[in-house]
Structure 1
Amino acid sequence: MTTGTGPIVPRWEWRTFGTRFGRAEVVFESLEPEGVQESDELYFLSPGGANVKIRNDLVDVKVLEEVDADGLERWMPILKAEFPLTSATVRQIVDAMGIGDITLHRETFTLDELITDLAATVQLVQVHKRRVRYSVGGCTAEVSEVTVDGRPTRTIAIESEDAAAVVDAVREVGLGSYINTNYQKGLSWVVDGAPERYAIIDVGTNSVKFHVSEWRDGQWSTTLDRAELTRLGEGLAEEGSITPDAF
């Protein structure tokens, strides 16, 4: 059955993953914790990107509803249900995960049956969390020690119904230069064991620059930064175009 205690209110969320968080470490150490919770959870990572997890024998599903100009994500809880699940409930889950083309052969599903039927289509990740909650600028904040399939990492999250308050709180604790991500992407990075890498090529009139960075511990880390003097613009003012000699 589906459980619920009141109207669902989506929140704007900001989150980053890493091992150390600079000034934010000092800020959170100075705050009084408002609660500590430990849990063991099973995440279903899927192409559709929905947040699907099992916690306390309940399946919990959230879908990304909106991303604002500051990169904040607003997630809508759409389902919280206990086992056994009906086929209609499982259909709702697989549709949210972007794998709705699979055929369901059961009328009800235990947890083991759900895992068996979806294991070939989604990535199952065991996660242990120790979450410490705080209040920052009217927002809920959470600093978590996380073990992902045996690999340790940490994550900080700040959320509120007020997007502007989240942005202010992120800056207040010293995380303004850290990039927002979500649990699904963060878990995938940890499991894959490889950071995301990006490259930029800047072709100018005098030089060509090549820059490669990786996203590590919540910040950009430069792996390569080169520049070559090419003088492609030599003679451009006189000829109005790049000359053959410049090549």
Structure 2
Amino acid sequence: MGKEAMKIGEISKPRFEFRSFGQDFEEAHYRMSRLSVPVPEKVWERVSEEIYIISRTNDVNNTKIRDGKMDIKTYVQTVDGLEQWNPLMKGEFPIKAEVLKNEVFPAFKVQMPELNKDVYTYEEFMEMVKANSDLLPVRVKKERYGYMVNNTICEFGYVLINGAQICTINSESTEIEDIKKTIADVGLEGVENINYLQAIKRVTGMIDKPLANE
């Protein structure tokens, strides 16, 4: 069976990913941009604003909210240093109490708040989050530039985490060897693989650990 051709912005089988965060990936970004094949105009540059819900007791479920919609991905495995994540839950506000009880708060791995309504608005949900000392809502703004190198979906981005600017760079694919070749080709060998959860925890001080470069 042949390789799956990666297509930016389209659903594929669960992908493996290398991603890192720091202050300076300009050389790797330059090489990525020069090595890239042409990509659809819609991914040349993308800007978004999201809220990530970070939990002190959870490192395996990644929850973000954008445009009134909640998206939770869950960690599956690490192979050759590359992480694989799968969709766990998608929902939107107003959101049913049973979804909060059975899917959302279990993903945070924190104590369940008292739910005395059938449906909750975004504002009501955020009040519950802010009332829990183990949860932290974090503002994340992204300015991302898309590329395609060695049939892997790549991006470089500027990310504001509660106003603090850092950079991110990544390569993802269903094919591990293609990602490893891309890492080597753009000059990222030896750079720590850091996912969004870990990066946000480090920037906000929830984890006392530096980014890949500072």
In the alignment, is residue 71 of structure 1 matched against residue 84 of structure 2?
Answer: no
Taking a change above 3 Å as real, the CA distance of residues 193 and 95 of structure 1, as seen in their structure-2 partners, is: closer
| CA radius of gyration, larger in | 1
Contact 2:29 2:156 in 1 (8 A): no
Q: Which residue of 2 aligns with 1:230?
A: none
- 1:113-128 to structure 2, matched below 5 A, reads 113-121=124-132, 122-128=135-141
In the alignment, is residue 42 of structure 1 matched against residue 51 of structure 2?
Answer: yes
> Structure 2, unaligned stretches of length 5 or more?
1-9
Q: Which amino acid aligns with 2:99?
A: T
Aligned-partner SS, 2:74: strand
Contact 2:23 2:167 in 1 (8 A): yes
Contact 1:39 1:129 in 2 (8 A): yes
Q: Which residue of 1 aligns with 2:28?
A: 24
Q: Which residue of 1 aligns with 2:143?
A: 130
Percentage of matched positions with identical amino acids: 27
Taking a change above 3 Å as real, the CA distance of residues 28 and 168 of structure 1, as seen in their structure-2 partners, is: closer
Give, in whole Å, the separation in 2 of the partners of 1:159 and 1:28. Answer: 13
Aligned-partner SS, 1:142: strand
Q: Which has the higher contact order (CA 8 A, sep 6+)?
A: 2
Taking a change above 3 Å as real, the CA distance of residues 105 and 118 of structure 1, as seen in their structure-2 partners, is: farther
Contact 1:64 1:75 in 2 (8 A): yes
More strand by share: 1
Aligned-partner SS, 2:204: helix
Taking a change above 3 Å as real, the CA distance of residues 107 and 77 of structure 1, as seen in their structure-2 partners, is: same
Q: Which amino acid aligns with 1:124?
A: P
Contact 2:33 2:147 in 1 (8 A): no
Contact 1:33 1:132 in 2 (8 A): no
Taking a change above 3 Å as real, the CA distance of residues 119 and 83 of structure 1, as seen in their structure-2 partners, is: same
More helix by share: 2
Between 6-15 and 92-101, the greater mean CA deviation after superposition: 6-15
> Structure 1, unaligned stretches of length 5 or more?
1-5, 197-214, 222-247
Aligned-partner SS, 2:19: strand
RMSD: 2.3
Contact 1:146 1:154 in 2 (8 A): yes
Give, in whole Å, the separation in 2 of the partners of 1:126 and 1:22. Answer: 24
The offset of 1:7, in angstroms, is 7.8
1:105 to 106, 110, 116: 116
TM-score (norm 1): 0.72
TM-score (norm 2): 0.82
